[in-house]
Amino acid sequence: MASQPLQSVPAEQTPAQHEQSLEDAARRDAEGQAYFDKVMADDSRIEPRDWMPPAYRKTLVRQISQHAHSEIIGMQPEANWISRAPSLKRKAILMAKVQDEAGHGLYLYSAAETLGQPRDQMMQDLMDGKAKYSSIFNYPARTWADMGAIGWMVDGAAIANQVPLCRASYGPYGRAMVRVCKEESFHQRQGFEILLELSHGTPEQKQMAQEAVNRWYAPALMMFGPPDQDSPNSQQSMAWNIKRFGNDELRARFVGMMMEQVKVLELTLPDKDIRFNEETKKWEHGPLDWDEFHEVLSGRGPCNAQRLERRREAHENGAWVREAAVAYADKQSRKQAQKEFAA
Partner 1 sequence: MSTTPETAVPAEETAGHGDISVGVPGAGAEFGAGSGDAAASATRITPGNALRPEDIALAVSRGTAKPSDDAAEYALRLGDDALILAQRLGHWISRGPELEEDIALGNIALDQLGHARSFLSYAGGAYAKDGKPGKTEDDLAYFRREPEFRSVEIFEQPNGDFAVTIARQFVVSYYQYELYRRLTESTDATLAGIAAKAVKEVDYHRDHSAQWVLRLALGTDESREKMIHAFQVIWPYVDELFRDDELTARLAGTGAAVEPSSLRADFDRLTGEVLAEAELDVPQVKAAPGGGRRGLHSEHLGYLLAEMQVLAREYPGATW
Partner 2 sequence: MNDSTAPAAAPAPHTAGNVWPLWEVFVRSSRGLSHVHAGSLHAPDAVMALRNARDLYTRRNEGVSIWVVPADAIASSDPDSKGAFFESPQGKDYRHATYYTKSEGVKHL
Binder to partner 1 among 51, 139, 173, 283 (CB under 8 A)?
283
78 binds Fe ion (CB under 5 A): no
| Least separation in angstroms between CB 68 and Fe ion | 9
Residue 104 contact partner, candidates partner 2, Fe ion, partner 1, none, CB within 5 to 8 A by sort of partner: Fe ion
Residue 118 contact partner, candidates partner 2, partner 1, Fe ion, none, CB within 5 to 8 A by sort of partner: partner 2
Q: CA dist 12 to 17, 20, 23, 195, 224, Å?
A: 9, 13, 17, 70, 52
**Nearest to residue 53, comparing CAs of 239, 223, 210?**
239
294 binds partner 1 (CB under 8 A): no
Mask for 104-143, x = binds Fe ion (CB under 5 A): x---------------------------------------
337 binds partner 1 (CB under 8 A): no
CA distance 260 to 265: 9
Looking at the Cβ atoms of 300 and 322, the one nearer to partner 1 is 322
Sole window of 18-26, 117-125, 158-166, 252-260 interacting with Fe ion (rule: CB under 5 A): 158-166
Looking at the Cβ atoms of 117 and 135, the one nearer to partner 2 is 117
Any residues with CB less than 8 A from the CB of 123 and at least 6 apart, and which? 315
**Nearest to residue 129, comparing CAs of 58, 57, 69?**
69
Binder to Fe ion among 69, 90, 187, 285 (CB under 5 A)?
187
Binder to partner 1 among 46, 112, 150, 198 (CB under 8 A)?
198
Give residue 300's identity as a one-letter amino acid code: R
Q: What are phi and psi of 46, to 5 degrees?
A: -95, 135
| Least separation in angstroms between CB 162 and partner 1 | 7
Applying the rule CB under 8 A, the residues between 261 and 280 that interact with partner 1 are: 261, 264, 276
Burial of 172-195, coded b for 16+ CB within 10 Å and e otherwise, reads bbbbbbbebbebbebbbebbbbbb
Looking at the Cβ atoms of 56 and 254, the one nearer to partner 1 is 254
- 283, 255 in Cβ contact below 8 A? yes
Burial class (CB in 10 A: 0-12, 13-18, 19+), 231: middle
| Least separation in angstroms between CB 106 and partner 2 | 6
Looking at the Cβ atoms of 185 and 298, the one nearer to partner 1 is 185
Q: How many positions of this chain bind partner 1 (CB under 8 A)?
A: 81
257 binds partner 1 (CB under 8 A): yes
Sole window of 26-34, 48-56, 75-83, 217-225 interacting with partner 1 (rule: CB under 8 A): 75-83
Residues that bind partner 2 (CB under 8 A): 1-2, 28, 47-51, 99-100, 103, 106-107, 110-111, 113-121, 124, 171-173, 175-176, 179, 183, 319, 322-323, 325-326, 328-329, 332-333
39 binds partner 1 (CB under 8 A): no
| Least separation in angstroms between CB 30 and partner 1 | 28
The vertex-175 CA angle with 173 and 180, nearest 5°, equals 90
Binder to partner 1 among 318, 334, 337, 338 (CB under 8 A)?
318
| Least separation in angstroms between CB 64 and partner 2 | 10
